[in-house]
Chain A
Amino acid sequence: MSESTPALTRAEWPLWEVFVRPRGGLDHKHCGSLHAADAAMALRLAREVYTRRQEGVSLWVVRSDQIVASDPADHDMLFDPAADKVYRHPTFFPLPDAVKHM
């Protein structure tokens, strides 16, 4: 695109995050993003772009700017303290034989 393109045509549609449920019973999973003018278009384009190969049975789209995210700079403070607390995993408890596939 040339430098002289008017600003108007370069204005981008907002970004949307796309979540696909692969099968009934499974959770919607984030699979990517796309640009769309509004929610209806976002949903339709998500179908076109992300479910062409039978990837899913249900779609969610969310405006990217509506997602509240943790700050990467806070990573140490938020997540490192969990690193030495293995006892939070339930693997230390003996399981009765009757309980399978826990």
Chain B
Amino acid sequence: MPSSTCELPLVLAPRAEYLLRIADSALIHAQRLCEWCGHGPVLEEDIALSNVALDLLGQARALLTHAGRELDRDEDQLAFLRDERGFRNLTLLERPLRRGGDFADTVLRNLLLATWLGQLWRRLQRSADAEVAAIAAKAVKESRYHEQHAGEWVVRLGDGTAESAARMQAALDRAWPDVAEMFEADAVDAAAVASGLGPSRAELRDDCMAAWRGCFAEALLKVPADTAFRSTGTRGLHSEHLGPLLAEMQVLQRGFPGGVW
């Protein structure tokens, strides 16, 4: 009888924590983007958003499989049977996207994640872990494209009509408090740097900010002031939005444990 839960210790080895933060961020954003499937503003962009989601899902699968070997779990157990507390994604990515959000939130979040992941993958290509380096080498091209795709939209809407500019700025203001978590390094990052697994999140900040400032300037958007707020998703402490997202994502595997195609 296959297990219907995937219970893991609350705190994992730093290596697993590090990999799950990246994998879960890609996975949760992919799931959020799936909400657009069949609802895109135009047919072509609907396909484009699904393409981005599929790239992210592929990145998540590769990392979950890799991290799962040491946790004695496979990618499906990790994705579909973990509880909310076991997920390590950035809080930003679990916030409502299409439902209760705006298309501006979608293109902005795509940009924020693509830049952040892109900077991460770029550095992870030199990871001491050969499999992580190989995953990064493939993913870095995908993130570069996602960043360009999203950046074009941010500029188009930010430097568009009065209505689109106001909504783009509102989306940026909404997202900004959560962005701080992207660069909030802790002991997990320190361990990754020490072992050569990958960079500290703090190291990504300057390159990410430079890319965003360029894009926001072109889009005529004002970079919001930093706040003292720190979201904590990568430590497993989430907003109220992750639970309902997981309920939808996991319903089939929980309803039919061990079910396969």
Contact = CB atoms under 8 A, between A and B. Distances in A.
A48 to B, nearest CB: 4
B51 A36 contact: no
B152 A35 contact: no
A58 to B, nearest CB: 16
Determine chain B's interface SS by DSSP, over half rule. Answer: helix
Interface residues of B, number: 10
Contacts of B44: 34-36, 45, 48-49
Contact of B149 (A34, A35, A44): A44
Interface string A1-42: 000000000000100000000000000000000111100110
Interface residues of A, number: 12
Contacts of B148: 44
B42 interface: yes
Nearest to A36: B44
23 contacts: A34-B44, A35-B42, A35-B44, A36-B44, A37-B156, A40-B152, A41-B152, A44-B48, A44-B148, A44-B149, A44-B152, A45-B44, A45-B45, A45-B48, A48-B44, A48-B45, A48-B47, A48-B48, A48-B51, A49-B44, A49-B47, A52-B47, A52-B51
Contacts of A49: 44, 47
A13 B44 CA distance: 12
A38 to B, nearest CB: 9
Nearest to B44: A45
Nearest 9 A-B pairs (CB), nearest first?
A45-B44, A48-B48, A48-B47, A34-B44, A49-B44, A48-B51, A49-B47, A48-B44, A35-B42
A6 to B, nearest CB: 13
A85 B44 CA distance: 45
A60 B78 CA distance: 42
B108 to A, nearest CB: 17
A13 B148 CA distance: 21
A13 B152 contact: no
Contacts of A36: 44
